[in-house]
Chain A
Amino acid sequence: MTTTLFTDARLIDPEQGTDAPGWLLIEEGVIKAVGTANDPAPAAARVIDCAGHCLAPGIVDIGVKVCEPGERHKESYRSAGLAAAAGGVTTIVTRPDTAPAIDSPETLEFVARRANAAGPVNVRPMAALTKGREGREMTEIGFLMDAGAVAFTDCDHVVTNTKVFQRALTYARALGALVIAHPQEPGLSDGAAATSGKFASLRGLPSVSPMAERMGLDRDIALLEMTGAAYHADQITTARALPALERAKRNGLDVTAGTSIHHLTLNELDVADYRTFFKVKPPLRAEDDRQAVIEGVRTGLIDIISSMHTPQDEESKRLPFEEAASGAVALETLLPAALRLYHSGDLDLPTLFRAMSLNPARRLGLASGRLAPGAPADLVVFDPDKPFVMDRTTLRSKSKNTPFDGQRLQGKVRATYVAGAPVFEVS
């Protein structure tokens, strides 16, 4: 039996909420035992000295866009997998907003085949909730689950027809399927490139009130009261949406919420002189909103942090701001960007990994995301302090549209393990 022992590690255990020195033993790709610095370490066939660096459960990233099928020049399963491994992400949960959309078992099977052949990390696909993400007819949720879909989402398309959405939620509930939605009132957000306020007005950009997010969430919560479905809001980015979310949770609805790393670490002013790499959807918010969302992650009201990895080629970004495509790549910058919140004293490491590893795994019913015996040995070893200047040309993603280009970040992944096997190591 092959056993590997990680010694001299700083164990980040989001389940226990602890951040303490210790060791971890794995066997056959599964975590076998975990001990503190005081516990005697067992013998093992192979020993990896972590040299005091952090050892945490690998990141489970919900909402990664891999551009297969349709736009492989922007991102393939191979390039996304390499980027994920380098970023400490051990499971990518992929979005169905491809061209064509992943809305049939046949497309999903094609994608799953490609994913498993090409990538070093775990890939769990999501499927569209409605055909073509058009909000008219629900997809074959049952068949898609059989084919491996872990959740159903139309991504940034809001199912505006409330009756269609209600039926899809009702049907999904019967099958125990998780529905992920983008809370937004599309009547208000249509055509917006910025969040309304002084900055948007100064720049003359079409804008959306932050209230549009709360309105979308309010509607969805009302539908959850009707249907009892399992629901996850992909990105909660404004302070005004938080009380509604809190109430829904208190009332016992099966609801969770995520946010994106960009909304946690950037605000609308970062757009500056129309820098399109900072154009994301929903648009970056005011600083007050960012602070409120950080607090939401700290208290656990917001469950999950995602990269919302969205590759865009240069051509779709080198346009006037209104016309430029939305989205940013983030698989490789998720961890260092999240560590900004650690270095600023906003969030401790167990809280960050609760939101990046434990909670997303739990929400999808995956066994990973924990440092507990029996969990898969999906692990990341990182140095939280290592400073560097981000150079977008070094990214492994095929697309280089990161807002962190040229910025100082702290924290580098030393090694990433999937089922105990190294998929990335700093040489």
Chain B
Amino acid sequence: MTFSHSHLLGIEPLAPPEITTILDLAEQYVDLNRRDVKHADALAGLTQINMFFENSTRTQASFELAGKRLGADVMNMAMQASSIKKGETLIDTAMTLNAMHPDLLVVRHPHSGAVDLLSQKVNCAVLNAGDGRHEHPTQALLDALTIRRAKGRLHRLNIAICGDIAHSRVARSNILLLGKMENRVRLIGPPTLMPSGIAEFGVEVFDDMEEGLRDVDVVMMLRLQRERMDGGFIPSEREYYFRYGLDAEKLAHAKPDAIVMHPGPMNRGVEIDGEIADDINRSVIQDQVEMGVAVRMAAMDLLARNLRARPAEVMA
């Protein structure tokens, strides 16, 4: 087994064999999750706290289920409603948490780097459940597992990521992961939604969707993050859908067996046509949700093993 980290803060610090380790272990948990009795005790006796400083239903539920299936005591803290509003800083929160002796801390935060900062101040394993526009590592891992199962491999694939790349942590983590695993990554979207310096990421950039989708194996759609828009990135939703919404006509340019992915929640009729999203021959969107639980179980299991292997005084 290769996985030497004490936190999962992003894809950036992971080496390819470590990514493979997580995915291999996740496969086992996919099997477990399909049994009648969906329970293991890899995290028995450990406390998992989910701290979400930003709205999330799906990711939080996925982490909660993953922890419970592995026997952890799981607690959810809805940080939006709590003391943060009363001026408590992230560091204060970390100090409070330390006193509760959690073992696994799952954090989502609206600011890039906030989870990293928190990890420096707490005595437990931290999992990044999305920080600002920075990274969302478990999403990239579950996408990788979905691709690997659908395509039989996770290398030498042509993968298109489409939509609002600039504001997307999902895109960043996926670009990093798919690049590390030696795939060809294409980014498709209006230039106003491309981050600066993107040409240096080792990707191909297209502003014409049909051209960008030509002969790809995987089409990964992103949510158009309306709540993140400062205003004025695109002229209108309908023009966006016309140029960048995934419909049958555009998808016809991809390989005939290309799969369609979306991290959810979807805006049907904005970035993706409803029929494609529901087409069981093309869409693996439901698989992604299933893989999400398994990948999160694997990641927490590996972190817990490293946690237990640490000398006692480090934890003090």
Contact = CB atoms under 8 A, between A and B. Distances in A.
Interface string B284-308: 0000000000000000000000000
A209 B111 CA distance: 20
B112 A274 contact: yes
B12 interface: yes
A199 B197 contact: yes
Given A203-B112, A204-B169, A205-B112, A322 B132 contact: yes
Interface residues of B, number: 24
A274 B119 CA distance: 12
A197 B112 contact: no
Given A204-B133, A204-B172, A321 B111 contact: yes
Given A204-B132, A274-B112, A315 B169 contact: no
B114 A320 contact: yes
B113 A274 contact: yes
B90 A319 contact: yes
B91 to A, nearest CB: 5
Given A315-B89, A318-B91, A198 B201 contact: yes
A273 B134 contact: no
Given A204-B132, A204-B169, A274 B116 contact: yes
Interface string B199-212: 01100000000000
A207 B198 CA distance: 13
Interface string A268-280: 0000011000000
A198 B202 CA distance: 11
Contacts of A273: 113, 116
A296 B213 CA distance: 46
What secondary structure prevails in chain A residues at the interface with B? loop
B109 A320 contact: yes
Contact of A204 (B89, B91, B134, B201): B134
A45 interface: no
A344 B89 CA distance: 41
Contacts of B116: 273-274
Interface string A205-246: 101010000000000000000000000000000000000000
B197 A203 contact: no
Contact of B117 (A197, A315, A320): A320
Contacts of B134: 203-205
Interface string B88-123: 011100000000000000000101111011000000
What secondary structure prevails in chain B residues at the interface with A? mixed
B113 A203 contact: yes
- Best-buried of B90, B131, B134, B135 by chain A (most CB within 10 Å): B134
B195 interface: yes
A207 B201 CA distance: 17
Contacts of B281: none
B236 interface: no
- Best-buried of A198, A200, A203 by chain B (most CB within 10 Å): A203
Interface residues of A, number: 21
A312 interface: no
A196 B196 contact: yes
A117 interface: no
Interface string B150-193: 00000000000000000001001000000000000000000000
A323 interface: yes
Nearest to B111: A320
Given A319-B90, A320-B111, A197 B197 contact: yes
A202 interface: yes
Contact of B195 (A201, A321, A323): A201
B197 A198 contact: yes
Contacts of A209: 196
Contact of B196 (A197, A274, A319, A321): A197
B196 A207 contact: yes
B205 to A, nearest CB: 12
A273 B112 CA distance: 10
A269 B301 CA distance: 33
B168 to A, nearest CB: 9
Interface string B123-140: 000000001111100000
Contacts of A201: 172, 195-198, 201
A321 B172 CA distance: 18
Interface of A: 196-205, 207, 209, 273-274, 315, 318-323
The 6 closest A-B pairs by CB, nearest first: A204-B133, A204-B134, A274-B113, A196-B196, A198-B197, A320-B111
Interface of B: 12, 89-91, 109, 111-114, 116-117, 131-135, 169, 172, 195-198, 200-201
Given A205-B112, A205-B113, A320-B90, 15 more contacts: A198-B198, A201-B172, A201-B198, A201-B201, A204-B113, A204-B133, A204-B134, A274-B116, A319-B89, A319-B90, A320-B109, A320-B114, A321-B112, A322-B111, A322-B113
